[in-house]
Amino acid sequence: QVYGLGKPGSPAAIAAWNIDVAPDGTGLPPGSGSVAAGQAVYAAQCAACHGAKGEGKPADALVGGLGTLATGKPVKTIGSFWPYATTVFDFIRRAMPYQAPQSLSADEVYAATAYLLHLNGIVPADAVLDATSLPQVRMPNRDGFVADARPDTASRPCLQCR
């Protein structure tokens, strides 16, 4: 049954809210940003919460942790843990900087993403990211995720007690 409520959601009408970016790059906007430009964005907008070099404090560390995931103290950052570079762009665009979400231009988000990927040793110092290059970045932990395997505990109530 169709109730006939609501109004048509034309692409133009919803454009400002349609901000998600998929791993294949769908949703990435025009524009681009370099590591160098990102360094400036990061210093101005991000360093206060994530540390001068992304080391964290007060908010999450964004750099480091490679090789720690299988240890007793995994350090999970963009570099060590995130499977898709597109997610970095998506998250910064929707949620950062924390005190002014959705305030950065597309160029600034590309740039901040490039800088953070560079700090993590994933893209070179001269990298420039855009809608074509960003989805092609292969993240170290790309294959680090597995499906839910639960139930994984097989308890049976004590038969004596029943």
Partner 1 sequence: ASAALGAAALPAARATGAEPALEVPAWTRTPGEPVLWHAYGQPDAHEAHVVRRTRGTAVLPGAASSLTPLQNLHGIITPTGLVFERHHAGIPQIDPAQHRLVVHGLVQRPLILSMDDLVRFPAVSRIHFLECSGNTGVEWRGAASTSIQQSHGLLSCCEWTGVRLSTILQEVGVDPAAAWVLAEGADGAAMSRSIPIAKAWEDALLVYAQNGEMLRPEHGYPLRLFLPGWEGNASIKWLRRLKLGAAPFMTREETSKYTDSLPDGKARQFTFTMEAKSVITYPAVDHRLRGRGYYEISGLAWTGQGRVKRVDVSTDGGASWREARLEGPVLDRALTRFRADWQWDGGPAVLQSRVTDETGYVQPTGRQLIAQRGLNSLYHYNAIQSWKVATDGSIANAQV
Residue ranges in contact with Ca ion by CB under 5 A? 60, 76
Under rule CB under 6 A, residue 111 binds ligand HEC: no
Structure tokens at 32: 């681009």
Distance CA 81, CA 131 (A): 22
State the Cα–Cα distance between residues 90 and 25, nearest whole angstrom.
10
Site for partner 1 contains 30 (CB under 8 A): no
Q: With binding defined as CB under 8 A, does residue 100 bind partner 1? A: yes
d(CA 25, CA 89): 10
Query: Measured from the CB of residue 52, what is the shortest distance to partner 1 in angstroms?
Result: 17
- The whole-angstrom separation of Cα 10 and Cα 67 is 46
128-130 vs 32-34, strand pairing mode: antiparallel
Could you give the string, one character per residue 80-109, with x where binding to ligand HEC holds by CB under 6 A and - elsewhere? Answer: --------x--xx---xxxx----------
Q: What does the angle CA 91 – CA 142 – CA 140 come to, to the nearest 5 degrees?
A: 95
Pick one of 52, 74, 105, 121: the residue that binds partner 1 (CB under 8 A).
74
Calculate the alpha carbon distances from 128 to 91, 103, 107, 109, 147 in Å. Answer: 19, 21, 10, 12, 33
Contact partner at residue 45 from ligand HEC, Ca ion, partner 1, none, CB < 5 to 8 Å by partner kind? ligand HEC
Which residues contact ligand HEC by CB under 6 A?
A: 45-46, 48-50, 59-60, 62, 78, 88, 91-92, 96-99, 112
Tell me which residues touch partner 1 (CB under 8 A). Answer: 1-10, 12-20, 22-23, 49, 58-59, 69-70, 72, 74, 76, 78, 81-84, 86-87, 90-91, 94-95, 98-103, 144-153, 155-158, 160-161
